[in-house]
Chain A
Amino acid sequence: MANSNTQLIKPQAFRRGLDLGSIHPVAAQPIEEMPAPKRIYVSLKQHRGGWCMSDVSVGDQVKMGQILAEGADPDTAPIYAPVSGKVIAVGDHPDSTSGRMTPTVTIENDEADEWLNEPVTDAAFLDKNPTDLIRAVRSAGVVQSAGGRPLASMLSPSGHPQAYYFLVGKPVHKPVDLLIINALDHEPTIAVNRRLLQEKYDDLKIGIKVVEKIVAHKQSVLAVSDDIGIDAEAVRALSGEGIQTVVFHNRYPLAAPPLLTTAVTGKELPWPGGDPQDVGALVLTVEDILGILDAVREGRPRIDRVVTVRGPDIPPRNLKVRIGTTIEEVLKFVNASFDGTDKVVVGGVMDGVAQFSLHAPITKLSRAIHVISAKHLVEIAEDLCFKCGRCVEVCPMRLLPNVIGNLCEFGQFDEAEDAELFKCIECGCCAYVCPARRPLIHYFKHGKSELEAKRTAQ
């Protein structure tokens, strides 16, 4: 990989967005395993596309790693049983990602943890051809934890466009020159990627080789935040493999793939709707690469994930949790008192989803659980915008959030679209700084959904 053709990457400074502080105690907490609870709720939508169809019915005995549901759409990913036990219900249940009722398979855990196919290391996994590797990634059901895109649909095999189309159903083949390994966390209060980088860098090295085998990129760059720094053991180990390291002060939302691609390559993506691959880059988080490695090396499907848990009365923890564990079980495990609990957010505090039920389960997309007490709730007002310009200053997409917010508030959705509403990534920086406390993200989401409904109707 470290051949003479590679250019030295000179990262660009990212000055917009917010400085939420890079150094946070949560990044020093090792990952702990949480035992599987008595009852598991597996949501059938843990990816970008629509619901999967359930392959099991009430009363069935399932084993760990047995397929529960799959879908034909390339934007869906198969879902596997995280525990062994008996299916006791298939029906609607609260979901933490969408914040609404979603079809869910409920499993009574028999605590045997009996695998359908015990994951065993395949010694020759690196000798497989790229098509087989992609097939293994696809069938393991690993998805990007930001946005839920199945990872298999991002790995286009070099020189096999037909095979790629056959595998993922999309007639697009984009060559990848640069792999950006995203070891930044979406928000400083989440430490999933930073912990995995420090604890599993040996696996990460192999995972990068797998990705290289599939997409045949020429160069790899590791993006780390400045609290880990260039001298960390993990970063040194990866540098030894010829991977260039770039250190960023993790201003929120730099970890978002379009912004990270621009910061590393200096090129902006076509936006809205562009992809890092449009400029020849592939952005994968540490978590993504480790998921790919598990899939191809052991055939181990995605049945658990790392979740950062934070609350007002508990020290921050990083837990490895089975998919389908409810928020309530996780909070009980960390001894949260629930006294001050007023809002529970799954995902980051800047763009996570506030939950209406503590019975909502962890999915493949749940990076963190934040408990927020009543005295720290955000204020919301319907006062006029007084054009201070603080939102314009922080907007990472260089939009005019004040203007778009006003247009959406008063129902001028077509004008909002002309003001580039769809370029908004809903990071929340504008609403965070707004001194008039205007609910800008609410206005943007409302405007987008109105415009999409109008398009569907036409």
Chain B
Amino acid sequence: MSKKLTVSFSPHIQDHMTLRSMTVETIGALCPAILVGLYFYGLRAVMIVVLSVIAAVAAEAGLARIMKKPSTISDGTAVLTGLLLAMLLPVGVPWWTVIIGAAVAIFLGRQIFGGYGGNPFNAVLVGYLILALSWPAAVETFYAPANIFQGLSPLFPLDASELPLGLLTYGDQGRVLEFYPLGLALIGGIPGGIGSTSVIALFLGGIYLLVRRIIPWQIPVGYLIGVFVFALIAWLADPSGIKYANPFYHVIFGYTIIGAFFIAPDYTTSPYTLPGMIIFGLGAGALTMIIRYWGAYQDGVFFAILFFNALTPVLDRIRFKSYGMAKVSS
């Protein structure tokens, strides 16, 4: 026997889950929501999604070449970033802003910190918020959904006060279901980002990720509880029921569901300790509601999550004590 043996340190077996498989499954979980977006917004939505993914991948490949680092496209994170960014954007956004947003997300959001795993802030949010702050009119104008089978009408922009969250926060909350019937809201036929309106599709994708244990349950559950409880307290505090909306509306409308399942649990920018995750979820949920009620922005999901991204290193210090008694008994 003169066979050469492989020698390595333990362990000698390994779980099947890799970054690549986790990313691929997350992209799979996003597919129902994207399909709903394509159904309501048609070919232009396809164009935005494809453009965003291509721009993100090209930025990742180009930066790897400039920095003379091995390409990391195969792990799928650039595709996922591009996809998520497109899902947040409204369908009428100019094509060049999509390219800028995706490239900025990869460059400023991720590669400048050393690649996936080094970034303090969620790369998708960096890309989106730079667009929202630079071209607010383009990014915050939403359009009435049409239907792919009825033949798509020209895009019909809506005023901020006509949007679901506008109705909720500008005191007209009693009428929100007149404009946007509950069934349609759950399926996603309401104004919003390309892939962020369908509660059912996003929820199914999120449950899939939870069941497969690709994301920890503490963050999405904590986030939804944070939003719901804060809205519930506000709703109960005002007996007239006019000023603050029914807490269910705040979970259904806006970016709440996509934020809870796909933006907040981003591995790198959320805590890794269990108590940290719970505080992160609850806190980001509550801050979302504070911004919705009293902030300058209609939807607080993104700024709330970004703020808690910054708190993540602190939250990571909240942990279980390690094994072992404090003192040796004699």
Interface residues of A in 394-414 (CB under 8 A from B): 396-400, 402
Q: Enumerate B22-38 residues with CB–CB distance to A below 8 Å.
A: 22
- A351 to B10, Cβ gap below 8 A? yes
- A-facing mask of B132-154, CB < 8 A → 1, else 0? 00000000000000000000000
- Contact residue among B1, B5, B268, B325 (Cβ-Cβ distance under 8 Å from A386): B268
Contact pick for A349, options B13, B216, B274, B324, CB 8 Å: B13
Among listed B113-121, B157-165, B234-242, interface-contacting one: B113-121
Contact of B6 among A278, A343, A388, A436 (CB under 8 A): A343
CB distance from A332 to the nearest CB of B (A): 9
- B294, CB-defined interface residue at 8 Å: no
Counting chain B CB atoms within 10 Å of each CB, the highest count among A379, A388, A397 belongs to A388
A428-B10 CB under 8 A given contacts A271-B325, A274-B328, A389-B267: yes
Interface of chain A, main secondary structure: loop
Select from chain A the residue with minimum beta-carbon distance to B119: A386
CB within 8 Å of B: which of A367-383? 370, 372, 374, 376-380, 383
Interface readout for B270-286 with A: 1 if CB under 8 Å, 0 if not? 11111001000000000
User: How many residue pairs at the A-B interface have CB separations less than 8 Å?
Assistant: 164
Query: Which of A342, A344, A352, A423 meets B323, CB within 8 Å?
Result: A423
Cβ distance A174 to chain B, nearest Cβ, rounded Å: 9
Answer yes or no: B67 CB below 8 A from chain A CBs: no
Q: How large is the interface on B (under 10, 10 to 19, 20 to 34, 35 or more residues)?
A: 35 or more
Q: At the interface, is chain B mostly helix, strand, loop or mixed? A: loop
Please name the residue on chain B nearest to A372 by beta carbon. Answer: B12
Which residue of chain A lies nearest to B326 when distances are taken between CB atoms in the complex? A270
Q: How far is the CA of A37 from the CA of B10 in the complex (A)?
A: 29
Kindly state the separation between the CA atoms of A271 and B327 in the bound complex, as whole angstroms.
9
Which interface class (under 10, 10 to 19, 20 to 34, 35 or more) fits A?
35 or more
**CB <8 Å contact, B323 and A345:** no
* Interface pair A356/B118, CB less than 8 Å apart: no
Given contacts A384-B117, A389-B271, A441 and B19 within 8 Å (CB-CB): no
Complex alpha-carbon distance, A349 and B15, angstroms: 13
A and B contact pairs by CB, cutoff 8 A, 25 listed: A262-B323, A270-B324, A270-B325, A344-B5, A349-B11, A349-B13, A355-B5, A356-B5, A358-B3, A380-B8, A384-B117, A386-B267, A387-B268, A388-B272, A389-B271, A392-B273, A392-B319, A398-B323, A399-B323, A423-B322, A428-B11, A431-B10, A435-B15, A441-B9, A441-B10
Chain B interfacial positions (CB closer than 8 Å to A): 1, 3, 5-15, 17-19, 21-22, 114-118, 216, 267-268, 270-274, 277, 319-325, 327-329
